[in-house]
A = this chain, B = another copy of it.
Amino acid sequence: MGKEFLNLMDPDDVKKVIDSLNIERKIEMVTLSDAYQRVLAEDVYAAIDLPPFDRASMDGYAVQAQDTFGASEDDPITLDLIEKIRAGDDPSQKVRKGTCSEVGTGAPMPEGSDAVVMVEVTDIQENKVQILEAVTPGTNRALRGSDIQKGKFLLAKGTLLTADKIGALSAIGLEKIPVFAKPTVAVISTGNELIKPDEELRHGKLYDINSESIANAVKSCGCIPLASTIAKDDYDSIKNKIDEYKHADVIITSGGTSAGAGDVLRQVVEDMGEVLVHGISVKPGKPTLIGTLPDEDVDIILFGLPGYPVSALMIFHGFVAPFLRGVAGVKKFMEKQKVSTLKLSRRYHSARGRSHLVLVKIEENIAHPILKDSGAITALADADGYFEVPKNVEIIEKGEEIEVLPLSGL
């Protein structure tokens, strides 16, 4: 059992280290029905004119506008009805002077017509249409390409594909959409005491939490958890498990990072690659490790979280999640929507020189800090979010406003 003292790094410096990391961004093609909440990997230009033909924008009669000049309720003008055109039809008759065609909203404008008189200001008897109001050329008509012309810019690379954006893509008839592949993340809990729910709970054993909680937190960052699995807390087990998941973009372990525990993970990462950070001046989560493992093209990035569930999740949210959201291309959408400013329910004491990440329960717009230790599962059960106390702040007074960040995501 060693007694290593970690070389603690300032959280801001750790964030700089993380900002310098990257993964290879691959592109894949998906159908419209699989495009939801994916990120567009290329600029998209209109493949067709929209609308694709001159169309009626109201129900009524397609006319030559000048035929209607002077028409009023007292002095209607009568036109001959020559065709009925519904949306989806292809008109066969040309509208000439003194004639008109019935059109539904969205129907193509017949040749020769230049305006639509709304049905509400007409009367019809047999094949004679009385026009009760004059229209100018272009009234209630949308010209081909008037919304967007073929070849014009429609959506930018990096756009998050929400329902409305998928609507815009479906309008131009795209069958397959280029999106960034979701980064893959292997999640590994280390610990001889850990078991999965289908195993028997013998004395000294514990149901694993981190592989499930972190794998699901990975989903909230627009990434795919490849596995949530357990490794024994020894050199060979950890190394073998990491080798097994070297096809992942990112590997997240938890446990096995404390000084004293033999510090196995650090040794594995040093032997396989490079340790960039080991120890962060933050509470909870001090013994966090960050490293890289060389791979064919781009290094695999490894985050070694602490073993306690609350610590693991707080470090994930504070340091790993922003990175994953960045490489998944969803960071800016998360930041836009998610911070709540709330009053703190009680005075909070922090330790100078170390930043704190504090879980809170929200009740009636008041944030109550959850003051349990990092092993407490009930802290997870109660939490609605968390806030950060910067390293140079010692006390936040009751009633002060804090920015509460969510534990959920996309």
Residues of A within 8 A of B (CB): 1, 3, 32-33, 35-37, 48, 50-53, 57, 59-60, 86-91, 102, 104-108, 119-120, 142, 147-148, 154-155, 160, 162-175, 191-194, 197-198, 201-210, 212-217, 219-220, 228, 233, 258-261, 307, 309, 313, 333, 336-338, 340, 362, 372-373, 375-378, 380-381, 383-384, 406-408, 410
Q: Is the CB of A191 within 8 A of B87?
A: yes
Q: Is the CB of B193 within 8 A of A87?
A: yes
Q: Chain B residues near A87 (CB, 8 Å)?
A: 191-193, 204, 233
Q: Choose among B50, B57, B107, B163 the residue that contacts A377 (Cβ–Cβ < 8 A).
A: B50
Q: Chain B residues near A202 (CB, 8 Å)?
A: 90
Question: Given A3-B120, A32-B197, A213-B167: A337 and B336 within 8 A (CB)?
Answer: no
Q: Which 9 residue pairs spanning A and B have beta carbons closest together?
A: A88-B192, A167-B213, A88-B193, A59-B260, A163-B217, A163-B216, A170-B212, A162-B408, A87-B193
Q: Choose among B57, B88, B220, B372 the residue that contacts A375 (Cβ–Cβ < 8 A).
A: B57
Q: Chain B residues near A160 (CB, 8 Å)?
A: 408
Q: Is the CB of B375 within 8 A of A166?
A: no
A31, B302: Cα distance in complex, Å: 27
Q: Choose among B163, B171, B193, B220 the residue that contacts A162 (Cβ–Cβ < 8 A).
A: B220
- Copies assembled: 2
Q: Is the CB of A380 within 8 A of B168?
A: yes
Q: Is the CB of A260 within 8 A of B50?
A: no
Q: Chain B residues near A383 (CB, 8 Å)?
A: 164
A-B contact pairs, 23 of them (CB 8 A): A1-B104, A3-B119, A33-B215, A50-B377, A59-B260, A86-B192, A87-B191, A88-B192, A90-B202, A90-B203, A104-B260, A104-B261, A119-B260, A120-B260, A162-B216, A163-B213, A163-B216, A164-B213, A164-B217, A164-B381, A167-B213, A167-B309, A169-B212
Q: Chain B residues near A60 (CB, 8 Å)?
A: 260
Q: Chain B residues near A373 (CB, 8 Å)?
A: 57, 142
A384, B228: Cα distance in complex, Å: 35
Q: Chain B residues near A167 (CB, 8 Å)?
A: 209-210, 212-213, 216, 309, 313, 377, 380
Q: Is the CB of A1 within 8 A of B191?
A: no
Q: Chain B residues near A174 (CB, 8 Å)?
A: 197
Q: Is the CB of A166 within 8 A of B377?
A: no
Q: Chain B residues near A172 (CB, 8 Å)?
A: 207, 377
